[in-house]
Amino acid sequence: MKRVVILGHVDHGKSTILGSLLAHTNTLPKTKLEQVRNYCRKNAKPFEYAFLLDAFKAEQEQGITLDVARCFFKYKESEYLFFDAPGHVEFLKNAVTGAFQADYAIVVIDAEEGVQENSRRHAILLSMMRMDNLVVVINKMDLVNYDQSRYVQMKQEYNQFLTEHGIGSSLFLPVSGLVGENIVKKTERMPWYQGKSLLETLEDFTVPSSFAHKPFRMPVQDVYKFTEKGDSRRIVVGFIESGQCQIGDQLCFLPSGKEAAVASVEDFTSQGVTQVVAGTSGGITLSPQIYVKRGELAVKKSEKKPVTSSRIKVRIYCLSPKPLQKGETYILKTGTTKVSFSIEVICSVLNTKTFRYENKNVIEQNDVAECIFVLNSAIAFDIEKEFIQLSRFVIVHEYAIVGGGVISQALFLSEDQHSNVLCEQGCIRPAIFVNNEKRLTQKPFIVFAIGGSDKIIKKFAHEFQNSLVKQNRNILTFEIDSAGLQEQKEHNRCVAILNLLIAVNRSLLCLVKRESRDLLNKLCDYMCSCKVLIVNLSQGKRLQLQSDYCIVSEGNVEKLIQKISEDLKKG
């Protein structure tokens, strides 16, 4: 079933287009259409298809859609579930409810009134959730005499807006919902339009497939032990977001890191099921029967692991009438995890009325913002670029969902260990600072310390800094997330910052959490005029990159640092 949402500004004809689709494909019971006609006649109102969907009496009296309606519809072999969203800004939370459940979107714009606030705002919403399947319908063409130049002008204007906000090429088509022009059959009144009708366009949509090819991800929803009738099974249940797992597979539960194998797959109606697959609600038992609980993310040991962090960079959409602000505690829900958090940094805020970036300390209703959240405990997730489904979350405050967002990046080390003086955004940020305003005339160097557990990273960084301070040498420490370096802009920024500091004779220690040979090689290449050392902190694991030093065990750290210091002295 194709799930399609109809969005756009108030009174631009969303319900009319949907009503028209229903009526012109004979999807409706005749009595229903007749009922609406009678109602309009009795109440001296002009007939409107919208009354088919605006079911509430209050909606019909005011001629406005209050809440999103579900509407089923079948044409030829395709089945559709439409969400008819309200276009009034006051009911944006209801539009979001529809929009975020759909796979495809139609944005309706009134040819006479032109692009309005919610035409733009709804598109921003779509880009937020990375919805690329956008169809823009220029409606009410009958009111502008089916004028081609009007259509072209609007198409250009809106396309420019979409491009500016990173929304890729979209399909445009001119229609009249009320007249039924270009809805089902190709238009006759607009011979200048060569494309497909709305229904033909919808027919080209495909039902999105489940994420069977991705690594296994099952947020643990609950653990059941029903003792009735001597049932002794301990069943771990959850919706499988991606991948598959079968009996015998080694699983890892994150963030706890506990491990167990799949002992059995439980299914009430079928015997002998051996695997659970993406898109289903499954149940498994484990061996050994470890203690796991709701909120953990089950993954396969052999596959790519998700990220675990308690400090995250996010992009959010605020639905809360009360502004979100620093210092307040909120709840974040992702997968089946629930964790309290506070906003540490508000990096940027986009006002979706003016479409300007604003410099402010709070996030108001309908704003899109980039921020850094500090969570009360670590959670496991995939970042947006890896798997958007596992990066999505909602914000809960005072018994209601007040916003949604995606995690764009995991940030490392705890909040009290850094100062945000230099650069808060992006893949590089200052980590542990020590007082070392000394000897800036020395020859600078840069150390890339790669991999390792949080514990060993901390130990190495701490002792390395101390040893240099003792020698009256300066050192600045950074964390670098190689995943972030993939973006050219970030890579350039990182190189610029590091080179700048080297140019003023600062020596640098960079803690690299994830190794990526190509990216680090590239980074090293760009580091001019200083000595570059690579230290492998991953205790015996071979790096793809050739390292100059290798830490075998924790006890080995001091000795190694001594060696590095000596080598540095030698030049």
Partner 1 sequence: MNNLQKLESKSIYILREAYYHISNLGMLWSAGKDSTVLVHLCRKAFFGHVPFPLIHIDTGFKMPEMIAFRDQLALAWGLTMIYSQNRQALHDKKTFPDKTISCLECCKKLKTEVLQQVVQGKATQFRLNHTTAQYELDRTPEPLGGLIIGIRADEEGSRSKERYFSVRDKNNDWNYESQLPEFWGHFNTEFSPGSHIRVHPLLDWREIDIWQYIKREQIPISSLYFNKGDGTRFRSLGCIPCTRPIYSAASNIDEIVEELQSGELANTGERSGRAQDQEDRGGLETLRKGGYM
Binding of partner 1 at residue 114 (CB under 8 A)? no
Residue placing its CB nearer to partner 1 in the complex, 312 or 456: 312
Q: Is 441 left (phi over 0), alpha (psi -120 to 50) or beta?
A: alpha
Given a contact cutoff of 8 angstroms between Cβ atoms, the answer to whether 122 and 8 are in contact is: yes
Residue whose pair of structure tokens reads 């210092």 in the numeric block = 327
Token pair recorded at residue 445: 């160097």
- Scanning 60-68, 242-250, 437-445, 476-484 for contacts with partner 1 by CB under 8 A, the matching segment is 60-68
Quote the Cα angle for 216-222-226, to 5°.
Answer: 125
Q: What is the closest distance, in whole angstroms, from the C-beta atom of residue 200 to partner 1 in the complex?
A: 22
Residues 15, 16, 20, 94: which binds partner 1 (CB under 8 A)?
A: 94
> Which one of 158-166, 232-240, 247-255, 435-443 is the stretch in contact with partner 1 (CB under 8 A)?
232-240
Q: Does 268 bind partner 1 (CB under 8 A)?
A: yes
Residue 285's nearest CA partner among 265, 269, 267 is 265
User: Smaller CB distance to partner 1: residue 150 or 392?
Assistant: 392
Measured in degrees and rounded to the nearest 5, phi and psi for residue 167 equal: -95, 120
Residues binding partner 1: number (CB under 8 A): 62
**C-alpha to C-alpha distance for 445 and 463, rounded to whole angstroms:** 17
Minimum distance from residue 266 beta carbon to partner 1 (Å): 6
What's CA 472's distance to the chain center, in Å?
A: 46
Q: Is 399 in the site for partner 1 (CB under 8 A)?
A: yes
Choose between 34 and 259: whose C-beta lies nearer to partner 1: 34
Residues forming beta bridges with residue 379, ordered by sequence position: 309
From 6-14, 113-121, 230-238, 526-534, give the range in contact with partner 1 by CB under 8 A.
Answer: 230-238
**CB contact at 8 A, 306 and 380:** yes
Element (H, E) at 30: helix 30-42
Tokens standing for 150? 């009007």
For residues 95 and 535, give the distance between their C-alpha atoms in angstroms, rounded to a whole number: 52
Binding residue for partner 1 (CB under 8 A) from 21, 22, 96, 183? 96
**Which has the closest alpha carbon to 480: 460, 450, 510, 507?**
510
Shortest reach from residue 228's CB to partner 1, in Å: 6
Under rule CB under 8 A, residue 222 binds partner 1: yes
- The interface region with partner 1, picked from 157-165, 255-263, 396-404, 421-429 by CB under 8 A, is 396-404
Q: Are 93 and 13 in contact (CB under 8 A)?
A: no
Rounded Cα distance, 187 and 176, in Å: 10
Interacting span for partner 1 (CB under 8 A) from 278-286, 377-385, 426-434, 528-536: 278-286
Per CB under 8 A, 67 contacts partner 1: yes
220 contributes a contact to partner 1 by CB under 8 A: no
CA distance 136 to 124: 14
- Residue 358 found at the interface with partner 1 (CB under 8 A): no
Compare residues 100 and 216 and give the one whose CB is closer to partner 1.
100
Copy the structure tokens of residue 75.
Answer: 């044409």
Q: How far is the CB of 281 from partner 1 (least distance, A)?
A: 4
Among 47, 101, 206, 213, binds partner 1 (CB under 8 A): 101
Is 210 one of the binding residues for partner 1 (CB under 8 A)?
yes
Q: Which of 24, 32, 196, 514 binds partner 1 (CB under 8 A)?
A: 32
Structural contact between residues 511 and 477, judged by C-beta atoms closer than 8 angstroms: yes
| Whole-number Å distance between alpha carbons of 454 and 554 | 12
100 binds partner 1 (CB under 8 A): yes
Out of 40, 394, 434, 543, the only residue in the binding site for partner 1 (CB under 8 A) is: 394
Among 247, 263, 396, 550, binds partner 1 (CB under 8 A): 396
Region from 191-199, 248-256, 275-283, 457-465 binding partner 1, contact rule CB under 8 A: 275-283
Of 561, 557, 480, 564, nearest in space to 524 by CA: 480
As measured in angstroms, the least distance from the Cβ of 561 to partner 1 is 47
Helix, strand, coil fractions of the chain, as percent rounded to 5: 30, 30, 40
Written in H, E and C, the secondary structure of 31-90 is: HHHHHHHHHHHHCCCCCCHHHHCCCCHHHHHHCCCCCCEEEEEEECCEEEEEEECCCCHH
Work out the angle at residue 538's Cα, subtended by the Cα atoms of residues 537 and 543, and round it to the nearest 5 degrees. Answer: 100
Cα 520 to Cα 447: distance, rounded to the nearest angstrom: 12
Choice from 122, 140, 300, 392 touching partner 1 (CB under 8 A): 392
Q: How many CB atoms lie within 10 A of CB 103?
A: 16
Residues linked to residue 419 through DSSP beta bridges, in sequence order:
none
Is there binding between residue 482 and partner 1 (CB under 8 A)? no
Identified binder of partner 1 from the candidate list 63, 169, 192, 224, rule CB under 8 A: 224
In angstroms, give the least distance from the CB of 218 to partner 1: 12
Query: How many other CB atoms are there within 10 angstroms of residue 395's CB atom?
Result: 25
Among 47, 192, 226, 357, binds partner 1 (CB under 8 A): 226
Report if residue 205 touches partner 1, rule: CB under 8 A. no
Site for partner 1 in 72-91 (CB under 8 A): 72, 79, 81
Question: Which among 263-271, 296-304, 440-448, 531-539 is the span making contact with partner 1, rule CB under 8 A?
Answer: 263-271
Residues from 294 through 353 that contact partner 1 (CB under 8 A):
294, 319, 331, 333
- CB–CB of 442/365 below 8 Å? no
Of 163-171, 192-200, 279-287, 440-448, which part binds partner 1 (CB under 8 A)? 279-287
Considering the rule CB under 8 A, would residue 230 count as an interface residue with partner 1? no
Shortest distance, position 134 Cβ to partner 1, whole Å: 18
Contact 259, 251 (CB under 8 A): yes
Q: How many helices (H) and strands (E) does the chain have?
A: 12, 30
**Interaction site with partner 1 (CB under 8 A):** 1, 26, 29-32, 35, 39, 53, 55-58, 66-72, 79, 81, 93-94, 96-97, 99-101, 209-210, 221-222, 224, 226, 228-229, 231, 233, 235, 237, 239, 266, 268-269, 279-281, 283, 294, 319, 331, 333, 392-394, 396, 398-401, 404
